[in-house]
């Protein structure tokens, strides 16, 4: 199956919430509405044989989220599943104990996206999620 396109997600923000996002300079999957201090990242992952997708979230990306009033991450999976997450809810789960380091990503967290949760590797912490549920946007605005 094909993954959900970035354009489809952009239209959800525009049509449902009146948020017009534009690409952040130099970023492929990060968009902003500067006037409303909103940033949105839309990483993609294929679904692996265990049934999960996974993405790396770098410290640089996390610091970028912290510089905006509102931040959302929209996980797009090759199964056409999509998960909307308020970064204010996810950030407390990203601890120093669960950080990974390598030469490509530097300091980063590995997140597994399952059918009903997002888990943080090297941690027992997780966030319960529902597919295609973007109520977190309504709650923040």
User: Would you state the pLDDT for residue 141?
Assistant: 79
Token pair listed for 6: 């970035």
- In the structure encoding, which two tokens stand for residue 141, read together? 């605005």
Contact 39, 65 (CB under 8 A): yes
Residue 52 DSSP code: -
Tell me the C-alpha distance between 108 and 99, whole Å.
Answer: 6
Determine how β-strand 70-77 pairs with β-strand 38-41.
parallel
CB 38 within 8 A of CB 87: no
Structural domains of the chain sorted by starting position, each given as residue range(s) with its CATH number in brackets:
6-140 (3.40.1350)
Q: Which residues contact 137 (CB under 8 A, 6 or more apart)?
A: 13, 16, 17, 19, 72, 84, 86
Structure confidence at residue 140 (pLDDT): 82
What is the predicted pLDDT for the residue at 96?
95
2 pLDDT band, cuts 50/70/90, is: low
Instruction: List, in sequence order, the alpha helices (H) in the chain.
Output: 6-17, 59-66, 87-90, 135-140
Q: Using one digit for the tens of pLDDT, what is the confidence trace for 30-47?
A: 999 999 999 999 999 999
Q: Which residues pair with 125 in a beta bridge?
A: none
Which tens digits make up the pLDDT trace of 69-128? 999 999 999 999 999 999 999 999 999 999 999 998 899 999 999 999 999 999 999 999
Rounded CA-CA distance 106/48 in Å is 24
pLDDT at 1 over 50: no
Tens of pLDDT, residues 17-32: 999 999 999 999 999 9
Give per-residue pLDDT as tens, 69-80: 999 999 999 999
120 close to 110: Cβ distance less than 8 angstroms: yes
CA distances from 39 to 64, 84, 105, 121 (A): 8, 13, 20, 24
pTM for the structure as a whole: 0.93
């Amino acid at each position: 199956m094909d993954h959900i396109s970035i354009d489809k997600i952009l239209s959800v923000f525009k049509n449902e919430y009146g948020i017009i996002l534009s690409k952040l300079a130099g970023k492929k999957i990060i968009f902003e509405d500067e006037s409303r201090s909103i940033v949105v990242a839309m990483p993609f992952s294929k679904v692996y044989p265990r049934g999960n997708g996974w993405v790396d979230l770098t410290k640089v990306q996390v610091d970028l989220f912290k510089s905006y009033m509102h931040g959302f991450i929209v996980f797009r999976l090759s199964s056409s599943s999509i998960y909307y997450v308020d970064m204010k809810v996810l950030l407390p789960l990203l601890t120093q104990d669960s950080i990974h380091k390598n030469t490509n990503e530097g300091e980063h967290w590995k997140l597994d996206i399952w059918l009903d949760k997002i888990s943080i590797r090297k941690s027992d912490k997780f966030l319960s999620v529902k597919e295609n549920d973007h109520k977190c946007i309504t709650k923040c605005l």
